[in-house]
């Protein structure tokens, strides 16, 4: 018996990988010094809601380990509902310049994986183990 109030875990759908199309790898190489300038961090999702007047955007309030809340907007609403993400741990790049989206300043980018499956775009939001603390750096 399931405890009341808990949502069922998403069923793992069977994937026929012969029907998956991924983008080709970049041919241009990035040197290590350039890659090292990217600051990827574990972030804890404190709040998440749909951005009014947008079909795609979710607005996240994140704990990035700095002691200050970080706001990031992400176009993942076609695949995820805000309430299923609150309390999760995600991966973000935190040193991108702020960018205004729908009048809100987004300070970074949350990471997702995307591919084409039978002509339809599929997105998987990268969620990390919840034991990873906010602010932990990806190397």
Per-residue pLDDT at 14: 80
Instruction: Name residues whose C-beta falls within 8 Å of residue 83's C-beta, 6 or more positions apart in sequence.
Output: 48
Strands 99-101, 20-21: pairing is unpaired
The residue whose two tokens read 């932990």 is 136
Domain limits for position 105: 36-128
Residue 9 lies in a domain: no
Residue 56 lies in a domain: yes
Residue 45 lies in a domain: yes
How many structural domains does the chain have? 1
Per-residue pLDDT at 88: 98
Proportion of the chain in helix, strand, coil states, percent, rounded to 5: 10, 40, 55
Residue 30 lies in a domain: no
Low-confidence spans in the chain with pLDDT less than 70? 1-12
Written as six digits, the tokens of 1 are 């018996």
Residue 14 lies in a domain: no
pTM for the model stands at 0.84
Per-residue pLDDT at 111: 98
Residue 12 lies in a domain: no
Per-residue pLDDT at 71: 98
Written as six digits, the tokens of 24 are 């080709």
Residue 59 lies in a domain: yes
For residue 46, the domain's CATH number is 2.40.50.140
The rounded distance, in Å, linking the Cα atoms of 30 and 34 is: 6
Residue 62 lies in a domain: yes
Per-residue pLDDT at 18: 87
Instruction: Name residues whose C-beta falls within 8 Å of residue 59's C-beta, 6 or more positions apart in sequence.
Output: 48, 49, 50, 51, 71, 72, 73, 104
């Amino acid at each position: 018996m399931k405890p009341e109030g808990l949502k069922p875990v998403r069923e793992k759908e069977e994937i026929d990988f012969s029907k998956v199309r991924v983008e080709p790898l970049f041919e241009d190489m990035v040197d290590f010094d350039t890659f090292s300038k990217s600051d990827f961090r574990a972030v804890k999702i404190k709040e998440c809601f749909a951005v009014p007047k947008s079909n795609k955007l979710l607005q996240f309030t994140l704990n990035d380990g700095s002691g200050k809340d970080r706001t990031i907007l992400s176009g993942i609403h076609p695949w995820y509902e805000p309430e299923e993400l609150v309390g999760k741990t995600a991966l973000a790049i935190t040193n991108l310049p702020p960018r205004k989206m729908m009048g809100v300043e987004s300070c970074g980018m949350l990471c997702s994986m995307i591919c084409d499956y039978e002509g339809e775009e599929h997105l998987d939001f990268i969620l990390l183990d919840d034991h990873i603390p906010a602010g932990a750096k990806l190397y």
